[in-house]
Amino acid sequence: MIKSLRLAASVVVLAAAASAASAQAPQKPPEKAHVFTAKDMASLDRLSDPRVSPDGRYVLYSVRTLDYPANRATMSLWIADLKARMAPRRLAISDGGASSGRWSADGKSIYFSSSRASGTEQVFRTDVMGETATQVTNAPFDVQAFRVAPDGKTIVVGQAVFPDCADLACTEARLAAKTATKATGVVYDRLFVRHWDTWADGTQNHLFAWTLGPDGVATGQPIDLMKGFDGDTPTKPYGGDDDFTISPDSKMLTFSAKVAGKDEAWTTNYDMWGVPLDGSAKPTNYTGKNKAWDTAAVYSPDGKFSAFRAMKRPGFEADRFGIMIYDEVAQKARELAPTWDRSADSIAWSADGKTIYATALDVGQGKLFAIDVQTGKVTALTGDGHVSAFDVSPAGVVYASDSLKSPSELFLLGKKGPPVKIASVSNEALKDVAWGEPEQFNFKGWNDETVHGFVLKPANYDASKKYPVAFLIHGGPQGSFSNSWSYRWNPQVYANAGYAVVMVDFHGSTGYGQAFTDAISQHWGDRPLEDLQKGWAAALSKYAFLDGDRACALGASYGGYMVNWIAGNWNQPWKCLVNHDGVFDTRAMGYATEELWFTEWENGGTPWQPNTTYETFNPANHVDKWVKPQLVVQGQLDYRIPVEQGLATFSALQRKGVPSKLLYFPNENHWVLKAQNSVQWHKEVLDWLDQWTGNKRPGK
């Protein structure tokens, strides 16, 4: 989603016009020269992953750069000097590709990932100048994530191995044998068979400790710190180095993992485990009493405490993540700020160990908070926008922030004064763009409770006109269309195509308290629909520029489900519909999706149990009322909402004679990630909207 850039000149002119005498006819502001397109969005450089040096002088960060004709992105490392305040510079070692830049504890070295040597992802080391690099690991296959111990003597890496293998060579040989054989059949005796976009191949992600020699290069044979452990760290499918951490004394490793067993596909019981870094003992479960989700431990600077995030309800992936403080000596945990009704996304200690910093969604904004470790007092450090990542230093907090009007930029929040912008990689590319101006609104929704949403005016807004509307419905369903930037569902693309945009954070959305999030479970089709209906009515009443007779509803995942539900239960306002990877048949979904805990929690049980909601809110039961034109989008590699759901939607539309199209991507998963596919996606979607709303797209 998105964050704040400077106001466009058109907004200044519009504000002046608004302050003039009411009898004066509104004047159209001068148009900016450039229409922001899907290709522009896909082609933007992307800034991420800020890491501050131990002395607080430098911040290291990653930049993703796209080669659009080649449909391929490369990663580079950049560094900004917070003391000299010079322009950031690109490290020369990035020429071979570089990502995941991490400082050594003494600040003299930078470790990073690259596939420059053998085509496999390995760890390299450079210095602050970043002109030459030394290869640290030479594993026979990819290093997924890594951490270097504070004493600099050990590096821990994540690798996918066959868990019954005694060493890496065994896994290497077995992979080679699988490649050599002509037989392609695979036998499974438990779930997961497939997860997200990948079929299980028998390997699991394990953590290995490698000794670093005097030259800083990994030497000898690595120790499997998870030997005999039936599970994955880094976790699948999104895991990284936040899944494990090393104690300040370099003696212990703490990691988050779920024991797979037979119930991996329907349990959320991730635990925190501890193991000596020398492998002298097996992992110990620190949080075995909690059958819900525990994750992402971080040690206090003195090593006496660790903090981690924890849920309370087993089987519920959208429960509130509370912050737990674990006493390493007493081996007891307490919750920090238990009455703070927000779910922490990431956490870190202050340098003095007195504060926990955390990010969380809060009423449509993604804020950075400071929480006093002793009292639990919570203070918001940022306001509008969305903090996507941060790191703590003696000089303050460096954070990446975005908004509905800006991709991610870097800021330094010092101990005094307002935040200072450190770096941006998109200013030049976006300097002539006229943004659609966002405004947050609220109304009384289900149960007469306050519901929030955003409206975006079209770019180059003219107050004398009415505009067609893109009514965007977010997925999750425990998600949010917040004040943030997105490279997939970005409302600015619609605003620059001549559409006003309406987005409602219906019951089930995150950032409004856990009870609000809980309200959608077993109520997919009634409470959120009521919010969407009332939100649409409230937006039409408040914003005269919305043309309610030229509007289309669009959504992905749960949003796609809701589009199918709307098609049979609230199709009256819409000229057309767009459904991306949406659920068609909730009962079939309960059998075919991979993470079974999700459908079982959301529907109140398994598909064969009584008193569930699989049929109560099943779009397939209302196909007889489908009449509105619908574009269906589906990825073949989507194992969350499998391809048959999209094919069934399209088949039903075609069989009923409803105007419809199917956009199929054989090489995309639940998301459309490849740049040229993204541009094609947006072209087909906007063409569909134009066709049924009569919109004349700027620049088309």
Q: Please compute the mean of the pLDDT values over residues 694-698 and round it to a whole number.
A: 91
Q: Please compute the mean of the pLDDT values over residues 473-501 and round it to a whole number.
A: 97
188 HSE (CA, 13 A, CB side): 11
Buried b (16+ CB within 10 A) or exposed e, 515-539: ebbbbbbbbbbbbbbbbbbbbbebb
Structure tokens at 333: 């945990």
Distances (CA, A) of 239 to 233, 557, 687: 7, 21, 37
23-71 pLDDT, tens per residue? 334 445 455 668 999 999 999 999 999 999 999 999 999 999 999 999 9
The alpha carbon dihedral of 360, 481, 600, 592 has a sign of: negative
Which pLDDT score, from 0 to 100, does residue 1 have?
32
Which pLDDT score, from 0 to 100, does residue 415 have?
86
Which of 391, 670, 682, 690 does the annotation list as catalytic?
670
3-state DSSP call for residue 163?
coil
142-199 pLDDT, tens per residue? 999 999 999 999 999 999 999 999 999 999 999 999 999 999 999 999 999 999 999 9
- Rounded distance, CA 447 to CA 28, Å? 41
Burial of 684 per CB tally in 10 Å (0-12, 13-18, 19+): middle
Question: 507 with 528: CB under 8 angstroms?
Answer: yes
Which of 242, 585, 638, 690 does the annotation list as catalytic?
638
- Rounded distance, CA 628 to CA 625, Å? 9
- Rounded distance, CA 485 to CA 490, Å? 7
Which pLDDT score, from 0 to 100, does residue 675 have?
98
- Closest to 150 in 3D by CA, of 46, 279, 301: 301
264 phi and psi angles, rounded to 5 deg: -55, -35
**pLDDT over threshold 60, residue 20:** no
**pLDDT over threshold 80, residue 6:** no
- Rounded distance, CA 565 to CA 545, Å? 27
Q: Please compute the mean of the pLDDT values over residues 498-505 and round it to a whole number.
A: 98
Which pLDDT score, from 0 to 100, does residue 394 have?
86
Strands 576-580 and 500-505: unpaired
Which of 247, 426, 509, 557 does the annotation list as catalytic?
557
Over its C-alpha atoms, the chain yields an Rg (Å, rounded) of: 26
72-117 pLDDT, tens per residue? 999 999 999 999 878 999 999 999 999 999 999 999 999 999 999 8
Q: Is residue 474 annotated as a catalytic residue, yes or no?
A: no
**pLDDT over threshold 70, residue 470:** yes
Which pLDDT score, from 0 to 100, does residue 21 have?
32
The alpha carbon dihedral of 178, 179, 183, 188 has a sign of: positive
309 phi and psi angles, rounded to 5 deg: -100, 140
Which pLDDT score, from 0 to 100, does residue 411 have?
97
Task: Give the end-to-end CA distance of the chain in Å, rounded to a whole number.
Answer: 25
pTM, two decimals, is 0.94
pLDDT, mean over the chain = 94
**pLDDT over threshold 80, residue 9:** no
Q: Please compute the mean of the pLDDT values over residues 278-305 and round it to a whole number.
A: 97
Which pLDDT score, from 0 to 100, does residue 515 have?
98
Write down all domains in the chain, each with its CATH number in brackets.
438-693 (3.40.50.1820)
343-369 pLDDT, tens per residue? 999 999 999 999 999 999 999 999 999
Which pLDDT score, from 0 to 100, does residue 638 have?
98
560-580 pLDDT, tens per residue? 999 999 999 999 999 999 999
Q: Is residue 403 annotated as a catalytic residue, yes or no?
A: no
Which pLDDT score, from 0 to 100, does residue 34 have?
84
Structure tokens at 678: 């993204």
Which pLDDT score, from 0 to 100, does residue 26 have?
41
**pLDDT over threshold 60, residue 2:** no
Contacts for 350 with CB less than 8 Å, ≥ 6 apart: 356, 357, 370, 392
- Rounded distance, CA 459 to CA 44, Å? 19
Q: Please compute the mean of the pLDDT values over residues 133-150 and round it to a whole number.
A: 97
**pLDDT over threshold 70, residue 594:** yes
298-346 pLDDT, tens per residue? 999 999 999 999 999 999 999 999 999 999 999 899 999 999 999 999 9
Return the ∠ at Cα 168 (arms to 219 and 159), rounded to 5°. 90
- Residue 518 region, left (φ>0) first, then alpha (ψ -120 to 50), else beta? alpha
More confident residue, 415 or 592: 592
Contacts for 461 with CB less than 8 Å, ≥ 6 apart: 10, 14, 29, 436, 437, 545
Q: Is residue 660 annotated as a catalytic residue, yes or no?
A: no
Q: Please compute the mean of the pLDDT values over residues 370-384 and round it to a whole number.
A: 98
Contacts for 83 with CB less than 8 Å, ≥ 6 apart: 57
